[in-house]
Amino acid sequence: MSNILCPSCKTPAPQGAIFCDNCGYDLRMITAVSEEPLQPTFMVPGGGGENICPNCQHPNIAGSAFCENCGTKLTQIAPAAKPSPPPSPPPLPDRPPVPESLADTAIGELAVPPPPVPRLDHIPGRLVIPSEKVSIPIPSGVQSVVLGREDPVSGIFPDIDLDPHGGHEAGVGRRHAQLVLQNGQVFVEDLDSVNGTAVNKQKLEPRKPHPIHDGDELRLGKMILTYFNK
């Protein structure tokens, strides 16, 4: 079937078409088409891109200027603009790293470091012989103290003489042991004694200083002493 040309806009139209789908001209040779007030057009629910004629409800191809059924001028519907997304919030500042020493500490329970222990510059305190109920003060301001038994014949005069307190009977040697200060800590050292030295019942190797603390028990031979740092 041949096409016909619209006498108004020269647009080809199929045989039998009533109106030009480009300009709306009445192809039945009607002299004029009264323009009705434009009515809002609407899209078919669900999409599909068709324009529904507000006059005859005829579905037209999207983009048609006039209804191909009745010739009513169609208002083009602009696609709804997508709302622009809200602005992104500014990035949060980086948190400072947690020190490793605090990583395992519960919040609110941060460990308080103990006060620093003052370094000793001399041996403080006293030696107590429980069996004799005797307290022997350590000479003031010294960094080493020899414990033993005085022997004027041999010229041996220890800093603390234990002979008057049963040292000979207990097997205390003339130069049995010594207290010595090293790096601010008090140590006891056996001086190659015959009957040995022990700290809290742990026998010491000769010439190997062992640290002692307040309340520790010292055993020289069979004599028991307690060291107090005050």
- Average of per-residue pLDDT across 99-120: 64
- List the alpha helices (DSSP H) in the chain: none
Quote the pLDDT of residue 79: 55
- Is the confidence at residue 72, as pLDDT, over 70? yes
How many Cα atoms sit within 13 Å of 162 on the Cβ side?
A: 30
Read off the pTM. 0.51
Q: How confident is the model at residue 11 (pLDDT cuts 50, 70, 90)?
A: confident
**Mean pLDDT, range 80-87, rounded to an integer:** 72
CA-wise closest residue to 144 among 193, 186, 176: 186
**What distance in Å separates the CA atoms of residue 157 and residue 190, rounded to the nearest whole number?**
17
Which pLDDT belongs to residue 35? Answer: 41
Percent of the chain at pLDDT above 70? Answer: 79
Alpha carbons 67 and 33: distance in angstroms, whole number: 13
Q: Does residue 52 contact residue 39 with C-beta atoms inside 8 Å?
A: no
* Size of the chain in residues: 230
pLDDT for the residue numbered 38: 44
Q: Write down the residue that tokens 């222990």 correspond to.
A: 117
Largest pairwise CA distance in the chain: 157
Domain ranges of the chain: 1-78, 126-228
State which fold the 126-228 domain adopts: Tumour Suppressor Smad4 (2.60.200)
Task: Provide the pLDDT for residue 40.
Answer: 46
Q: What is the pLDDT of residues 110-142, one digit of tens each?
A: 567 777 767 788 999 999 999 989 999 999 999
Q: Assign 136 to helix, strand or coil.
A: strand
Contacts 24+ apart (CB under 8 A), 21-24: 21/60, 21/64, 21/65, 21/66, 21/68, 22/65, 22/66, 23/65, 23/66, 24/65, 24/66, 24/67, 24/71, 24/72, 24/73
* Mean pLDDT, residues 72-83: 67
CB atoms within 10 A of CB 187: 18
Nearest to 57 by CA among 38, 44, 48: 44
pLDDT band at 81 (very low <50, low <70, confident <90, very high): low
167, two tokens? 């040292």
